[in-house]
Structure 1
Amino acid sequence: MDIVCCTDNNYIKYCCVMLTSLLENNKEENITIHILGDNLTSDSQNTITSIVEEKYNQHLCLYAVDRKLVVDFPNMGSYVSLTTYYKLFITSILPSSLHKVLYLDCDLIIVHSVKSLWDCDLTGKPLAAVKDAHKGMEIHCALLDIDCIRYGYFNAGVMLLNLDYLREVGFEKKAVDYVTENSNRLTFHEQDVFNGLFYKQVIHLPYRYNLHDRLYRRQRYIDAETLPIVKEELKSPVIIHFSSGKKPWTSRCLHPCRYLYLRYLDMTIWKGERPDMSWKERLWRWNRHLASCLYLANGYRKQY
C-alpha cells in the first residue's frame, strides 16, 4: 500500500498526527509512505522517520520538491499553502514502478482500515474520490464549466490515483496548463484542477472515506436523496477530514470529532499540547455555540 502526502516544515506536526492515525489503524498492512516535502529540515525528517520506520516498522520515502514548480501558481491567501499544488507533480516525482497511490491531506485522521479503499478497481479511470459539499457549489462548478447536477464535484483531500492512467494522458502538463489558463478561477486551488480535468471520469467513493467538514454541519448542502446515505456513512467513519479553516489544533475548532484528533496527537511527541484558551477564545466559542443553537450559524450536529 503506497500512501502519498505533501507537507512543509510548518505542517510537519499535523502530518505526523495523520500518519500516526493511519499506521495505528492499519497495522496488518505493508505500507510505504511517500512524503513530498518542501525543504524539510533534518529535525522534520527525523521526526517522520521515528514514527514511520521506528515506531510502526513501515517504509518511508522522502522527496525534495523544488518550490519553483509552484511559485507562480495562484494563492488565495487562505490557510492553504502552495505546497498543496505538489500533488499535481506526483507522476514525475514518484518512481515509474508505482502504479497506484492513495493521496491523503495532512488535516485528517484515519480511524479504521483503508484496505477496502485501497482495493478499489481503477481500471480505465484516473482516480477515485468522495463528492464534496459546500455553499454555492453549483455557481462554483459553473465557473469551471462543470455540470454540477450531472457530474458533481469531488474533494481532493483523499484520492486514490491511477498513476498509469495519469502518465498515459500526460496529466502533469495538462494540470500546469490548466492552472495557467484558469488562474483567476481557481477558488479551491489544485482541487479545481483535478475536477476541471477529470470530473467526467472520477469514481465516486462512499462518503465514509472522506467525511469532510460540511457533512457534520446542520446544513450540509446536499440533495434530499443523498441525505439518508450521508447519515448512514457518518455512523461508520474511516477518514475524518477537518477541511474547514478552523483546524482541530486551534482554539476555535468546534468539530464534534476534535477529541479523536487530540487522541492521536497524544500518541506523538506533542502529547498533551493544546491551544491557548484565553477568555477571548472562550467567549468566541460560547457565542458560536449559542448562535448555532439559535440557528443563526451553520453549526455542527451532534456526533452520530
Structure 2
Amino acid sequence: MDIVCSTDDNYIKYCCVMLTSLLENNKAENITVHVLGDNLEKKHKEVLRDIVETRYRQRIFFYIIDNKLVKGFPNSAHSYLSLVAYYRLFITSVLPATVHKVLYLDCDLIVTHSIKDLWNVDIVGRPLAAVKDAHKGMKEHCALLEVDCVRYGYFNTGVVLFNLDYLREYGLEHRAIRFIDEKRQYITFHDQDVLNGLFHKQALFLPYRYNLHDRLYRRKRYVDAETLPVVREELKHPVIIHFSSGKKPWKSRCLHPCRYLYFHYLDMTVWQGERPDMPLKDRLWRWNRLLASFLHLANGYRKQN
C-alpha cells in the first residue's frame, strides 16, 4: 500500500497520531508512507521515521513541496484549513512514476481497522474514489463552483484513493491551477473544491465507513432521507474517523464522541499523556454547548451506541 499525507512542522504531532493508528491496525500489510511537506525540520523527520521504520518496520519517504507554489492560492482568513491542503494537487509530479495508486489520508483522522478492502477498491478508468461530504449550504456552494452535487454528489477529500496513472494523463497539476485561477473567489474548502470541480462526474463514491467525517455524528447530518439509514449502519462499522470540524480533539472545545480514540493513539506516541488545557472559559463554553445541544438549540453530537 502507498499512503500519502501532507504536513508542515506545526502538524507533525497529529500526523504521528494518524500514522500510528494506521500502522497499528494494519500490521499485516506492506505499507510505504509518502510525506509531502515544506522542507520539514530534521527532528520532525526523525520522529516520523521512528514510528514508521523503527516501530512498525515499514517504509517512509519525504518530498519537498515549495510553499511558493500555493502561496497565492485562495485561503480564507477565518478558515482552520492550511494551505498545506493544496499540496496533494502536486502528487503526480512529485511521486515516482512507478507509483500507480495512492491512498491519501488527512492528518486530522484516525484509522481504527484494516484498510485492506479500501485499498483493493477497483478505480481503473476513474480518477479517484472518495466518500460523499455533507455540510450546510452545500448546494449553494457547489453551484458557484459549477458542481452539480444533486446529480453527481460532492466528495470529502480527507480520504481519497487516487489513480495516479489517470491523473498524470489528465494533467492534474496544470488543470488544477487553471481551475483555481477561474474560480478563486468561490473556493472555500481548498483542494476539495478544486478536485470536485474537476472530477465530480467521474469520482467513485466509497462507503461512509472509510471517512466518517464530523457532520455524520451530528443530530442534523445534511443528508437526504434515503441516505440516513445507510449512515446509521456505517457508523456501527467505522474504519476511518475524520475529525473534520475546526474543533479538533487536541483542542479544549472538542466535543466529538470519538475524541477518546484520538487520545488512545496519541498515548502510543512520544506525547503520551498530553491533554489540552481546560481553562474556565472553555469549561463554561462546553457546558453551554452541551445544554444547547440537549435542548436542540444547537446541532450537537448524537450519543453513540
How far apart are residue 303 of structure 1 and its match?
1.4
Q: CA-atom RMSD, angstroms?
A: 0.6
Q: 1:167 aligns to what?
A: 168
Task: Map Cα deviations across residues 58-116 of structure 1 (whole Å, 9 max, x no partner).
Answer: 00001111111111111112111111100000000000000000000000000000000
1:32 paired residue number: 32
| SS of match in other structure, 1:161 | strand
Equivalents in 2 of 1:146, 1:75: separation in Å? 20
Q: For residues 73 and 122 of structure 2, what CA distance do their matches in structure 1 show? A: 33
Matched, 1:71 2:74: no
Task: Give 1:202 deviation, angstroms.
Answer: 0.3
- Residue 286 (1) aligns with residue 287 (2): yes
Matched with 2:263 is: 262
1:41 alignment partner in structure 2: 41
Equivalent residue, structure 2, for 1:7: 7
Q: Report the Cα distance in structure 1 between the residues aligned to 2:147 and 2:169, rounded to whole angstroms.
A: 23
Matched to 1:128, the amino acid is: A
State the identity as a percent: 70
Q: The residue matched to 1:146 in structure 2 has which SS? A: coil
Q: Are 1:122 and 2:123 an aligned pair?
A: yes
Q: Which residue of 1 aligns with 2:225?
A: 224
Q: Any idea what SS the aligned residue of 1:237 has? A: coil
Greater Cα shift, 75-84 or 1-10: 75-84
Counterpart in 2 of 1:191?
192
* Structure 1 residues 140-179: aligned runs within 5 Å: 140-179=141-180
Partner letter of residue 104 of structure 1? Answer: L
Tell me, in whole angstroms, the C-alpha distance in 1 between the residues paired with 2:92 and 2:176.
Answer: 11
- Match of 1:26, as an amino acid? N
The offset of 1:145, in angstroms, is 1.0
Once residues 62 and 145 of structure 1 are traced to their aligned partners in structure 2, the CA distance between those partners, rounded to angstroms, is: 35
Count matched residues: 304
Cα distance in 1 between the residues matched to 2:256 and 2:286? 12
How far the C-alpha of 1:193 sits from its partner, in A, is: 0.3
Q: Secondary structure at the match of 2:99?
A: coil
The answer for the alignment partner of 1:108 in structure 2 is 109
- CA separation in 2, counterparts of 1:144 and 1:256? 33
Q: Secondary structure at the match of 1:30?
A: coil
Matched, 1:244 2:245: yes
* 5+ long unaligned stretches in structure 1: none
Deviation at 1:278, TM superposition (A): 1.2
> Post-superposition, which runs of at least 4 consecutive aligned residues in structure 1 deviate over 6 A?
none
TM-score normalized by structure 2? 0.99
Shift in Å, 1:181: 1.2
Corresponding residue of 1:91: 92
Deviation at 1:39, TM superposition (A): 2.0
Instruction: Please show how residues 206-221 of structure 1 align to structure 2 within 5 Å.
Output: 206-221=207-222
- Give how far 1:279 is off: 1.2
